[in-house]
Structure 1
């Protein structure tokens, strides 16, 4: 598990390589033991041997967590091993270059059975046959897995219509607002703008400047084009999975971004200076927590930070606003951590039993609920959300319930499932940077992205 102190910082790291989010595994021995006779029971093949006192089948499990998180995940694996006496999962931490070492192990013919990863690597790994297609395992031992999971969770593990990975947690985003600052500027603190137009009409009230004209407090300014694009109906690919950087929704999103520096006249130079001053302050925490920003877009983990660093803060949470004309409510770009089974895994059936336990399938809802609660994450299935362990976690900070409301939304989307998907997103962010700093218009910037992505696609086609 990774610390989630700054969601936007983690996203930046993701776009350079792969995004680092968090997940850890834990379980409830009592809940699992009670269900051993149900659908989660390991078959004689998966158990390796149904003879009494037989040696357990050993499953090698690689992850990239270290330090305290390594200790924690190791403890959760111990809970699985106690629940499944015929399987012994042996965890190994590979914190440095974990994905590179995983691929090298696959190429060398001695890979781990299970690997936990994150980011937009599934298309590349599937295309290169580094990981197994899971469809056969799902069909034989979890035929209703797709119905069990939220649709977006199922989609996140697919490439070209086949399942290559199993999502083990979800990371939706919401917008937070400071209710006390709403009161300060004369707005109803309980009524957050539902549409882009409503947000545009009030956001200027929150900005504060010092006597030199430098920013003391930011109101709202959009960042991360791909995060907001779904609310504008933006599509990264067409129905044939071809990239669509000139999509109308993407263009409208970037034009909205552009309006903050053209129509509204905000200075990116001053905003950059404000952000730099925060970064240079070693005592600085998230500016939203200190009242230096009236809004922020973040994940469920921010609630824990609020409880820890700003317990008296009066805040609200809402879905991202959307344009009144053609926009999409409850639209989110969802990320996830995932498990894969390597090509050449020695024990794929046992590995899949471990994965099912992690997601909560087959009577493991309580175990997965404890897993998600302890890790501070969001489950991939409604039944896990409804587990007593997870309900207790939600009730500890009631605002956590807000993050559960949109998980089934038909307007949720994922990163483009392309082998060059990370490159594509990176180019969109570079386009955003150029537009916000006034060197290109929105149209010019997306035209450049179209050229760049087309060249990358052609390059990858040649190297196949």
Structure 2
């Protein structure tokens, strides 16, 4: 296995600086529970004969406790590997700490990285693709959800293993729908239907609201079957141009702005936390949010109103599309001994087991990445309690395989996402028309991609 050296990392210095920019303008389940301190977990100093695996992750708060439990369960399940989980802050902070650690032995054996960091991880040449271990073990990847693993597959090679996975759905208040004379069992599925229903609901004092979140724009492109970047969304070859100013983007912002103008949609800013709170309080009748927020939303509205869920909307005239997975995956670092890398792979396999995935799904709301997890009784019971999650499952499975739904990849995704959020704000505030705002955003992103590509090529 090829080791990663300081010389190979020097060319990436300016690239890592790009990742200092926050990945998300909105606050999602994937990042909002971050704890403030790092506390190693699962470390057993008496297990000196075991191969130690250090796992850097970005799951804080309640999610961090679930990670600790996964590690403790694995360490008890066998006597050859000892995993130590260490919280490293946000995804951006964790990646930059990884880079800083490469000149020493202080870095991790494996690291959790958000999906939009995938291009950077590959270009860093700091990792061993999990495909290598899959091939060595003859590991059956057919047991995994293809619409999840496709994101982390490049040129037929799987580079990392999905861990926490989500996508966005439409949430709506069934009680408000009924009170407004709308059928609570027939939610809107197109831009046109969303606009029509929002107008009816707003007349009753309950408009809709969607957070200004770049992730949503990416998803609305994919749902129209449209690519966000050139060169097959950056998958047939590295992307060189942003396509955010194409018809799919303009049509989306024209739709969004028209609802702002007639006050059927209100602007609550960039944070999904704010739209979620307004929805749970019954102040807004529809919103977009992550599937990972489903349990929190349903529990928060319990006793107040019934929550309905629906697929992400798209224009009535749009072609087949689907959603792109969000969340993060697990990467194995190549500057560690072969035995340590193989030990990390053993832990990754454990995390993908149906029983493990079932527990993780129930505790967090993230998708199981293993199909057989849905056969576990606790998952069946959970679906009975939270039938709304069936929408998320159906939407994932209904996504038509394409480079659009496989997801865009670029080394400057965190910056690109913020640039798009700025463009959306310009449109909703009326300072720029949709085409102009997206033309400016596309140029900014394209320029940043060019700088990144030059850096990588050095």
* TM-score, normalization by structure 1: 0.77
Given that 2:23 and 2:417 are in contact with CA atoms closer than 8 Å, whether structure 1 keeps it comes out as no
Alignment partner for residue 180 of structure 1, among 156, 175, 182?
175
2:94 to 91, 98, 106: 98
Decide which structure has the larger Cα Rg and report it: 1
1:248 corresponding residue in structure 2: 247
User: Within the alignment, does 1:80 sit opposite 2:89 as a pair?
Assistant: no
Distance of aligned partners of 1:17 and 1:296 in 2 relative to their CA distance in 1, 3 Å threshold? closer
Specify which of 383, 393, 404 is matched with residue 372 of structure 2.
383
* 1:318 has 2:317 as partner: no
1:198 aligns with 2:193: yes
2:107 to 103, 106, 111: 111
Equivalent residue, structure 1, for 2:16: none
Residue 222 of structure 1, CA deviation: 7.8
167, 171, 183: which is aligned to 2:162?
Answer: 167
Q: Which runs of 4+ in 1 moved over 6 A?
A: 17-20
Please give the alpha-carbon distance, in whole angstroms, between the structure 2 residues aligned to 1:194 and 1:168: 29
Q: CA, structure 1 residues 19+205, in 2 after alignment: closer, same or farther (shift >3 Å)?
A: closer
Distance (whole Å) between structure 1 residues aligned to residue 65 and residue 286 of structure 2: 35
Partner of 1:369: 358
Aligned equivalents of 2:228, 2:115: Cα separation in 1 = 16
| Aligned equivalent of 1:424 | 416
Task: Give SS of 1:260's match.
Answer: helix
Question: Of the candidates 129, 141, 158, which is equivalent to residue 137 of structure 2?
Answer: 141
What's the CA shift string for 1:249-294, capped at 9, x where partnerless? Answer: 2232223223334xx54499xx45x669x999xxx97111111000
Question: Could you tell me whether the CA contact under 8 Å between 1:14 and 1:119 is conserved in 2?
Answer: no
Give the corresponding residue for 1:27. Answer: none
The structural deviation recorded for 1:68 is 5.3
Match of 2:434 among 418, 424, 442: 442
Specify whether residues 110 and 451 from structure 1 end up closer, same or farther in structure 2 by C-alpha distance, changes over 3 A only. same
SS at match of 1:288: helix
1:190-238: CA deviations, max 9, x gaps? 22123222222232121259xxxxxx63235685433322233332023
Consecutive unaligned residues in structure 1, runs of 5 or more: 1-11, 25-52, 210-215
On the 8 A contact 1:234/1:248 being kept in 2, the answer is no
CA spacing shift, 1:182–1:122, aligned 2, 3 Å: same
Task: Note if 1:152 corresponds to 2:150.
Answer: no
Is this contact kept in 2: 1:60–1:90, CA < 8 A? yes
Aligned-residue Cα RMSD (Å) equals: 3.3
The residue that corresponds to 1:15 in the other structure is 24
- 1:23–1:337: 8 Å Cα contact kept in structure 2? no
Cα separation, 2, equivalents of 1:77 and 1:163: 24
Give the CA deviation at 1:335.
0.2
Q: CA deviation at 1:339?
A: 0.8
**Equivalent residues in 2 for 1:246-285 (5 A)?**
246-261=245-260, 264-266=261-263, 271-272=266-267
Q: Distance in 1 between matches of 2:410 and 2:300?
A: 39
The CA distance in 1 between the partners of 2:193 and 2:264, in whole Å, is 22
Offset at 1:21? Answer: 0.7
Q: Which moved more, 1:289-298 or 1:411-420?
A: 411-420
Conserved 8 A contact 1:150-1:380:
yes
Provide TM-score, normalisation by structure 2.
Answer: 0.78
* Aligned counterpart for 1:58 among listed residues 52, 56, 67: 52
| 2:384 is the alignment partner of 1:395 | yes
* Alpha-carbon spacing, 1:184–1:173, altered in 2? closer, same or farther (3 Å): same
Q: 1:23 to 1:455 in 2, by over 3 A?
A: closer
What SS does the corresponding residue of 1:155 show, helix, strand or coil?
Answer: helix
Which protein has the bigger helix share?
2
Q: Contact 1:230 / 1:411 at 8 angstroms: preserved in 2?
A: no
Label 1:324 to 1:120 Cα distance change in 2 as closer, same or farther (>3 A): same
* 8 A Cα contact 2:191 2:255, kept in partner: no
Equivalence map 1:119-134=2 (5 Å): 119-134=115-130
| CA distance, structure 2, for counterparts of residue 295 and residue 351 of structure 1 | 42
